[in-house]
Amino acid sequence: MAKIKGAVVIDKDRCKGCDLCVVACPADVLILGQEVNGKGYNYAQVANSDECIGCANCGYVCPDGCITVYKVKL
């Protein structure tokens, strides 16, 4: 069976730390980190990149369009 692997890139400067992508991710890939961006928000980060399935749920729900999602079939 083909295995699917995904990867996301988060625009940390645009992120407002709303947490919606973290909640939407079915694979617990994302977290809000301790670091803050220029606007003072705890921006979203990739914590478990190996788990990403490229479903793009995080991208869809991000109100600020911070997330780009990539996917490959192995």
Partner 1 sequence: MDTLEIIKPENKVYGKPRLMNDNPMHYCPGCSHGVVHKLIAEVVDDMGMAEKTIGIAPVGCAVFAYNYIDIDWIEAAHGRAPAVATAAKRLNPDKMVFSYQGDGDLAAIGTAETIHACNRGENIVIVFINNAIYGMTGGQMAPTTLLGMKTSTCPYGRNEHLNGYPLKISDLLVQLEGTCLVTRETVHTAAAIKKAKKMLRKGFENSMNGKGTSVIEFVSTCASGWKMTPDQSNKWMMENMVPMYPLGILKDK
Assign 3-class secondary structure to 5-49.
Answer: EEEEEECCCCCCCCCHHHHHCCCCCEEEEEEECCCCCEEEEECCH
Question: Which x/- pattern, by CB under 8 A, does the window 6-45 give for partner 1?
Answer: xx-x-x--x-xxxxx--xx--------------x-x----
User: Does 53 help bind partner 1 (rule: CB under 8 A)?
Assistant: no
Task: Report what 25 binds from ligand SF4, partner 1, none; CB cut-off 5-8 Å by kind.
Answer: ligand SF4
Report residue 39: phi and psi, to 5°. -90, -5
Task: Choose the contact partner of 35 out of ligand SF4, partner 1, none; CB within 5 to 8 A by kind.
Answer: none
Q: How far is the CB of 57 from ligand SF4 (least distance, A)?
A: 4
Tokens describing residue 16: 């407002």
